[in-house]
Structure 1
Amino acid sequence: MNDWIEHLEAQGLVRSATHEWHFGEATGQAHLPLETTALAPLPQFSIMEIAGADAERFLQGQTSAQVTLANGDFAPLTAFCSPKGRMLANGQLMRLEEGRYWLLLDSELIEPLHEQLAKYAAFYKVEISQPAVRTFGVMGRDAADRLESHFTTAPPETWGMQRVGQAVLLRHPGPVARYMVIAPEATALEAWQSLQPTTTAVGNAVWRLHDIQAGLAWLGAAQRDSYLPQMLNWEALAGISFRKGCYTGQEVVARAHFRGQVKKRLQRGRLASHVLPAPGTPVEDTAGKSQGEVLSAALDADGQTEVLAVITQRDEPRALVVEGNALTPLDLPYAVERVDPESLAGQA
């Protein structure tokens, strides 16, 4: 047992082996009242550190991001692909200092991505490790003010980062202001305790719902090596630089973009059900033919299930179901078109 877990459990935290953490609310509940500023532990995310004299050059050959854009202020989304262009992981790249980078990604993918990158790291002056840090979210109407009060600095803009002592602050898009705090355990615990009196502790399903509403999907182990980055709308989220040189899988990713060969796309929808489909659950047409699969799911304020799913594109509308429940399409908060990360770097 450690101080971080002990403190959260004293507040009523209930943990599960599948990274579903909540504070007494019904499992999967993801309602955040509009007037609330909330704290949520985020065990579904972990950090990989890539450090050494060749760290930038090493990453430039492996990731879809233009690594020089990760400058300590802008923290671009990125993807790591197989030679066939399929995503092995997606994440957010942070530069802490020269020759030292952090990568935020799904906790399930830390070990397999480390194993994949180690095949190439042997040829560079670089070390890959997992720093002992904790990650939690701060979200809601007054989230920025709460963070500024504790850290005595204004938090970053969307896809920006702010390093404050040993902590890193990130801002993610969503229906309310959302920030991540990533820090060693003692620093994270101090920040949580400072923010706690004026906030509400909620489960990490709230953060997942807001990812869904932001059209932001994080690959887990079940989806590894299955999709082109564009199938997760990664180019619409500025997660692919088409201006950089070669990286593993780049040729396939570029060809799919310039020839328009993307047959599946990430879509958002709602099910008239309070049962959460597991990642990988088929999306079917009324004839029972598979048209795609669910990536993530969470309950909204009405107790219905919102999902992100990768679905085969069709010109004509058609009825779709998930485990017998009708899937109602919902709008994404962005246009599905290319956004160059270079255009965002100066705005962070």
Structure 2
Amino acid sequence: MTISVSTPTWALDASLPPLMIANLSHLGLIKIVGEQGRTFIHGQVTTDIVSLAKDQWRWGAHCDPKGKMIASFRTFAIDDALFMLMPRDTVAIDLPQLQKYAVFSKATLTNASDELVLLGVAGDEAKAFVEARFGAITLELTVTEQGTIIKDAERYILALTPETAADIAASVESVFDASAWQAIEILAGYPNLAASHANQYVPQMCNLQAVNGISFNKGCYMGQETVARMKYRGGNKRALYILQGHTSLTVDLETALEIAMEDGFRRGGQIIEFVQRGNQVLLTAVLANDTESDAKLRFAEDEQSSLSILPLPYSLED
């Protein structure tokens, strides 16, 4: 289903409008069904799937045997089906990796990205808007006939039937493009890993432990030894940071970052997710985890650019 979208007009450093609805077309879904579906995924990912309640959702990561993330995701269940929500391009590379091992289990995995329409709702009026259509939303996850509501603090992800999504889109003045939601996720310090960054980072390098995306008590899973060693023996030297600034470049995920040192600028990290509006840019990036909060960064190809570090909304301490 196609929803007409508008480009956000507010500045990246400005407050959201009272009601912001975004078409999350950049996200996709993997669907897992079958009597061994949950136990199979439980043995593949960093988060505890077996204990996931029907009114819960969680962050998690799927790693390769070396403990490097293939994908980061939110997971939740609708009736007997388990879903993994992640960037749409990442579905295309993660699903075949999971299917390769699922042949030994009574589990069926499919790309369900086109089965449901994903909308994000945020702003001061978000709660009233969602509850006017779906009733009181007090749980992390609420499943209704019209769709599923993921509550994340004071914002919501709606996984809807096409008919319900069309009704909602028709009832509001504007539905914004995915960048409106990505800016919110970036400011939340969330680890949305694109396909181009697969097999590069251990989960702690993208702060998965800080958003409850790693269980250190669940037992074995793919890459578990590396992830556990990072926690109990140390050795992780990188973390996810939030950066904001300006540039004359058109930024992409491969745009190089530099950090100011005593003897000049040096290569400083890699962009994980970004939003750009004109010369303003907001992004998450993996940097050295001893980077000072007042560090000065820029884009390598734009010496006049400037990036500063914003505070994370969570702690990285164990």
TM-score (norm 2): 0.89
Identify the residue that residue 115 of structure 1 maps to in structure 2: 96
Q: Shift of residue 34 of structure 1? A: 4.4
Match of 1:96 in 2: 78
Cα offset, 1:295, TM superposition: 1.2
Instruction: Please point out which of 128, 133, 136 is paired with 1:150.
Output: 133
CA deviations on 1:103-134 (whole Å, 9 max, x unpaired) are: 11110011211110111100001111123111
SS at match of 2:82: strand
Equivalent residue letter for 1:231: M
Q: Is the 8 A contact 1:274 1:305 kept in 2?
A: no
Match of 1:305 in 2: 281
Could you say what secondary structure the match of 1:170 adopts? Answer: strand
Distance 2:82 2:231 in 1: 28
Q: Using the alignment, how far apart are the partners of 1:53 and 1:185 within structure 2?
A: 28
Structure 1 residue 330 corresponds to structure 2 residue 310: yes
1:187 aligns to what? 164
1:266 alignment partner, SS class: strand
- Deviation track 1:249-308 (CA, whole Å, cap 9, x = no partner) reads 0110000111121111101121233645211322223444322111122247x9632221
- 2:106 pairs with 121, 125, 149, which one? 125
Aligned position for 2:266 = 289
Distance in structure 2 (CA, Å) of the matches to 1:319 and 1:75:
36
8 Å Cα contact 2:247/2:299 also seen in 1: no
- The match for 1:264 is 238
What does residue range 238-257 of structure 1 map to in structure 2 within 5 Å? 238-257=212-231
Q: 2:202 aligns to what?
A: 228
Distance 1:44 1:319, change over 3 A: same
1:29 shift after superposition: 6.3
Inter-partner Cα distance in structure 2 for 1:146 and 1:189: 15
Secondary structure at 1:56 match in 2: helix
- How many angstroms does 1:318 deviate by? 4.8
2:36 corresponds to which of 54, 63, 71:
54
- Alignment match, 1:38: 20
Q: SS at 2:109's partner residue?
A: strand
Could you tell me how far apart the structure 2 residues matched to 1:25 and 1:81 are? 34
C-alpha contact 1:64 1:239 (8 A) present in aligned 2:
yes
Residue range with higher mean Cα deviation, 232-241 or 124-133 = 124-133
- Quote the Cα distance in structure 1 between the aligned partners of 2:255 and 2:54: 38
Is the strand fraction higher in 1 or 2?
A: 2
Correspondences of 1:202-217 after superposition (within 5 Å): 202-217=176-191
1:321 to 298, 312, 317: 298
SS at match of 2:208: coil
3-state SS, counterpart of residue 277 of structure 1: coil
Alignment CA distance shift 1:274-1:75 (3 Å) = farther
Q: Counterparts of 1:283 and 1:251 in 2: how far apart (Å)?
A: 31
Give the 4+ runs in structure 1 shifted more than 4 A: 28-35, 315-318
Cα deviations by residue, 1:144-166 (Å, 9 ceiling, x for unpaired): 11111111x22245xx2110114
Q: Report the TM-score, using the length of structure 1 for normalisation.
A: 0.82
The match for 1:344 is none
Shift in Å, 1:327 = 2.1
* Equivalent residues of 1:54, 1:124 under 8 A apart: yes
Q: How many angstroms does 1:69 deviate by?
A: 3.1
Change over 3 Å in CA distance of 1:297–1:275 after alignment to 2: farther
Secondary structure of residue in 2 paired with 1:116? helix
Say which SS state the counterpart of residue 290 (structure 1) adopts.
strand
Cα 1:162–1:326 change in 2 (3 A) is same
Identity %: 26
Structure 2: distance between partners of 1:111 and 1:170: 23
Question: Which stretch shows the higher mean deviation, 283-292 or 116-125?
Answer: 283-292
Q: 1:275 to 1:150 in 2, by over 3 A?
A: farther
Aligned residues: 309
| 2:111 is equivalent to residue 134 of structure 1 | no
Equivalent in 133, 147, 151 of residue 171 of structure 1:
151
Distance in 2 of aligned mates of 1:298 and 1:137: 16
Counterpart amino acid of 2:100? K
Change (3 A) 1:47 1:29: farther
Unaligned runs of 5+ in 1: 14-22, 339-348
- SS, match of residue 201 in structure 1: coil
**CA separation in 1, counterparts of 2:50 and 2:297?**
42
- Taking the aligned partners of 1:24 and 1:240, their CA distance within structure 2 comes to 35
Q: Does the residue aligned with 2:317 lie in a helix, a strand or coil?
A: coil
- Amino acid in the other structure paired with 1:54: Q
Q: How far apart are 1:75 and its partner, in Å? A: 0.5
